[in-house]
Structure 1
Amino acid sequence: MALIVLILSMFGGCKKDKNCSTTVTERKIYGSNDVFNEYKVQQDLKFVRDKLIEVHPYVYNTVNKEKFYSEWNKIIESCTNSMTYDEVYFKILEGMKLINDMNTTAFYDAKTEKIPLYFTWKENGAWITKNVNYLNVGDEIIKIGNKSMYEILNEIQEIYPSKDEVDAMYFATSQIRNRYLLKKLGLIDSKGRVSVDVISSNNDEKIVMLNFAKAIDSDVKSKYKNVSYVVNNNGVAILRLNRCVNDENYRNTLQKFFNECFKNNVKYIALDLRKNVGGDISVLNEFLKFTDIKQYRTFDVKYRTSKEAKAEGFKNKLFRSTKVKIKHKEGNLYSGKLMVLVSSETRNEGKQIAVIFKENNIGKVISDCTGLYIDDFGKNIKFITPNTGIRFVVSTAVLKKPYYNKRDSNILRPDEYVRYKQKDIMDVKDTIIEWINTHH
Structure 2
Amino acid sequence: MLELKIKGGVFGMIMLVLSSLNPVIAQSNIEALSPMQLQEDLDHLVAGIERYNPTMYIYNSEILFKENIISIKNSIKKPIDAIEWFKLLCLAVEKVEEGHLTIGTEKDAFYRGFLKGNFKSLPLGVQFLEDRAYVWNNLSREDFLERGDEILSINGRSMGEIRKLIFQYTNSDGYIKTFKQKRLSKELSARYFWFIEQPSQFVIKYRKRYSESTKVVQLEALTRTEMSEWSIKRALKKEVAKGINAVYNLVVEKETATLTLRSFNEKIIKQNELKSYEFYERIFKRLRKNGVKHLILDLRGNRGGMKEFVDDLLAFTLKKKCKGVLRELIAWDGTTVISDFPKRNKWFFKGDIYILTDGETYSTAALIAQYLSDYGNATIIGEETGSRYEGFAAGNFHYLTLPNSKIQIGIPNKWVKNTLPKPFREPNRGLLPDYPVVPSIEDLLEKRDPVRMKALELIQTK
TM-score band by shorter chain is 0.7 to 0.9
Change (3 A) 1:354 1:406: closer
Aligned residue type for 1:111: G
Counterpart position of 1:240: 261
Could you tell me how far apart the structure 1 residues matched to 2:89 and 2:165 are?
16
How far does residue 284 in structure 1 lie from its aligned partner after superposition?
2.0
Asked if 1:285 corresponds to 2:304, the answer is: no
Change (3 A) 1:221 1:255: farther
Kept after mapping to 2: 8 A contact 1:379/1:396: yes
Of 172, 175, 184, which residue of structure 1 is paired with 2:187? 175
Kept after mapping to 2: 8 A contact 1:37/1:81: no
Q: Secondary structure at the match of 2:168?
A: helix
Asked if 1:272 corresponds to 2:298, the answer is: yes
Q: How does 1:266-345 map to 2 (within 5 A)?
A: 266-291=292-317, 293-296=319-322, 300-301=327-328, 303=330, 305-306=332-333, 316-317=335-336, 319=338, 323-328=340-345, 332-345=347-360
Could you tell me how far apart the structure 2 residues matched to 1:158 and 1:278 are?
24
Could you tell me how far apart the structure 2 residues matched to 1:37 and 1:278 are?
38
Of 213, 235, 250, which residue of structure 2 is paired with 1:230? 250
Kept after mapping to 2: 8 A contact 1:348/1:375: no
Kept after mapping to 1: 8 A contact 2:358/2:385: no
How far does residue 278 in structure 1 lie from its aligned partner after superposition?
2.2
Of 33, 45, 49, which residue of structure 2 is paired with 1:48? 45
How far does residue 324 in structure 1 lie from its aligned partner after superposition?
0.5
Deviates more, 1:230-239 or 1:244-253: 244-253
Asked if 1:146 corresponds to 2:146, the answer is: no
Counterpart position of 2:382: 367
Could you tell me how far apart the structure 1 residues matched to 2:356 and 2:64 are?
39
Change (3 A) 1:69 1:165: closer
Of 399, 403, 407, which residue of structure 2 is paired with 1:383? 399
Q: Secondary structure at the match of 2:133?
A: strand
Of 353, 362, 365, which residue of structure 2 is paired with 1:347? 362
Asked if 1:209 corresponds to 2:218, the answer is: yes
Could you tell me how far apart the structure 1 residues matched to 2:250 and 2:138 are?
27
Change (3 A) 1:376 1:141: farther
Q: Secondary structure at the match of 2:274?
A: helix
How far does residue 404 in structure 1 lie from its aligned partner after superposition?
5.5
Aligned residue type for 1:176: L
Change (3 A) 1:280 1:356: same
Could you tell me how far apart the structure 1 residues matched to 2:369 and 2:318 are?
18
Alignment deviations for residues 412-439 of structure 1 (CA, whole Å, 9 cap, x no partner): 2212222322321221223323433454
Counterpart position of 1:193: 202
Counterpart position of 2:274: 249
Could you tell me how far apart the structure 2 residues matched to 1:244 and 1:253 are?
15
How far does residue 158 in structure 1 lie from its aligned partner after superposition?
2.1
Q: Secondary structure at the match of 1:96?
A: helix
How far does residue 92 in structure 1 lie from its aligned partner after superposition?
1.3
Could you tell me how far apart the structure 2 residues matched to 1:64 and 1:57 are?
14
How far does residue 40 in structure 1 lie from its aligned partner after superposition?
5.6
Counterpart position of 1:158: 168
Could you tell me how far apart the structure 2 residues matched to 1:125 and 1:67 are?
30
Identity of aligned residues (%): 18
Counterpart position of 2:6: none
Q: Secondary structure at the match of 1:197?
A: strand
Could you tell me how far apart the structure 2 residues matched to 1:69 and 1:124 are?
29
Q: Which residues of structure 1 form unaligned runs of 5+? A: 1-9, 18-22, 307-314
Kept after mapping to 1: 8 A contact 2:299/2:365: yes
Aligned residue type for 2:144: Y
Kept after mapping to 2: 8 A contact 1:275/1:346: yes
Q: Secondary structure at the match of 2:306?
A: coil
Deviates more, 1:344-353 or 1:400-409: 400-409
Kept after mapping to 2: 8 A contact 1:372/1:413: no
* TM-score normalised by the chain length of structure 1: 0.75
Counterpart position of 2:33: 37
Kept after mapping to 1: 8 A contact 2:398/2:412: no
Asked if 1:118 corresponds to 2:125, the answer is: yes
Q: Which residues of structure 2 form unaligned runs of 5+? A: 1-8, 12-17, 105-109, 232-236
Q: Secondary structure at the match of 1:213?
A: coil
How far does residue 196 in structure 1 lie from its aligned partner after superposition?
5.3
How far does residue 236 in structure 1 lie from its aligned partner after superposition?
2.7
Counterpart position of 2:234: none
Kept after mapping to 2: 8 A contact 1:420/1:431: yes
Counterpart position of 2:89: 92
Change (3 A) 1:243 1:204: farther
How far does residue 150 in structure 1 lie from its aligned partner after superposition?
2.0
Aligned residue type for 1:230: L
